[in-house]
Amino acid sequence: MKIAVCAKQIPDPANEVTYSDGIINRPDEQVLDDTDRYGIEVALQLKEKFDAEVTIISMGPAGTQKGLQQALQMGADKAIYVDDDSLKGSNSLKTANVLSELAKSLTADIVIFGTESTDGYSGTVPQQVSRFLDVECISYVKGLEVGDNITLTRQTVEGSEKVNMPEKCVISVTAGGVEPRYPNFKDIMAAKSKPIEQISLGDLNIVSEQNVEFLNVDTVESSKAGEKIIDEGEAYQEIVNKLRELKVI
């Protein structure tokens, strides 16, 4: 079984996101998107059962490759990525086009994603990749059981449902579905010798165009901060009074 897992390098979420001409400013050192840790965890659980090969696929400015290293530290075998200036500010369709081409180049059976990136959060790329690859997409997976079959539990509006994983498909994993593992010192050292390969955009079959034109970013007048009370034991009374005034009670 060959598994491709998407990992996105994003600016450290602890810092405020800034934009230039509608494109997120990306520092040289970016980190692994926490959302992707869930997908990587699912891939690693499959690897443990089926001796699968797990390859990280990624797109965007590689920079110091810290985020890719973090993905390898969790236990993926290798990483391939595309870093091309012409992909700056790519829309979701073009991103999906590139990632699906990377998955194809690996002849991956299973392609795994988080549900949406923390910085772009379009939440459409996994489904688009499945369409490019002409396989089914098992979206919003929140758990897996490996027995005679690999059973995936999907999050639905009303609750959940289960499906058996087909031989070839795309999976998107919701945050919280599985418990991503933390690498230990040995894992961190081992990751340093794992291959990270850059793939040239020219070697991929890209059919998507940029169809979305950035116009501008407007700052909204920030809403007023109201009254702030330091609790010295009686602040609950302020809430009671307010709830009464608002006729909640």
For residue 73, the minimal CB distance to other proteins (Å) is 20
Q: Give the SS3 label for residue 248.
A: coil
Please, what is the Cα angle at 56 between 54 and 59, to 5 degrees?
A: 160
The distance of closest approach from Cβ of residue 115 to other proteins in the complex, given in angstroms and rounded to an integer, is 7
Among positions 93, 112, 144, 173, the unique one binding other proteins when judged by CB under 8 A: 93
Report the site for other proteins in 161-220 (rule: CB under 8 A): 161-164, 166, 174-176, 207-220
Contact present, 96 and 45 (Cβ < 8 Å): no
Q: How far is the CB of 137 from other proteins (least distance, A)?
A: 7
- Would you say 65 or 97 has its CB closer to other proteins? 97
User: Please, are residues 25 and 88 in contact by the beta-carbon 8 Å criterion?
Assistant: no
Name the residue among 9, 4, 14 with its Cα closest to residue 39.
4
Q: Quote the CA–CA distance of 97 and 95 in Å, as a whole number.
A: 5
User: Which contiguous run of DSSP H or E holds residue 143?
Assistant: strand 136-146
- 3-state SS assignment for residue 170: strand
Interface residue with other proteins, options 158, 182, 185, 202 (CB under 8 A): 158
Site for other proteins in 123-152 (CB under 8 A): 123-128, 130-132, 136-140, 142
Binding span for other proteins by CB under 8 A among 1-9, 72-80, 101-109, 153-161: 153-161
In 3-state terms, what secondary structure has residue 103? helix
Query: Taking CB under 8 A as the rule, does residue 16 contact other proteins?
Result: yes
- Give Cα separations from 110 to 97, 166, 168, 226 (angstroms): 16, 9, 5, 51
20 scored as a contact of other proteins (CB under 8 A): no
231 interacts with other proteins by CB under 8 A:
yes
Site membership for other proteins, residue 30 (CB under 8 A) = no
Contact positions with other proteins (CB under 8 A) in 105-124: 115-116, 118, 121-124
230: region left, alpha or beta (phi > 0 left; psi from -120 to 50 alpha):
beta
Nearer to other proteins, 53 or 151 (CB): 151
Binding-residue total with other proteins (CB under 8 A): 79
* Residue 184: CB minimum distance to other proteins, A: 22
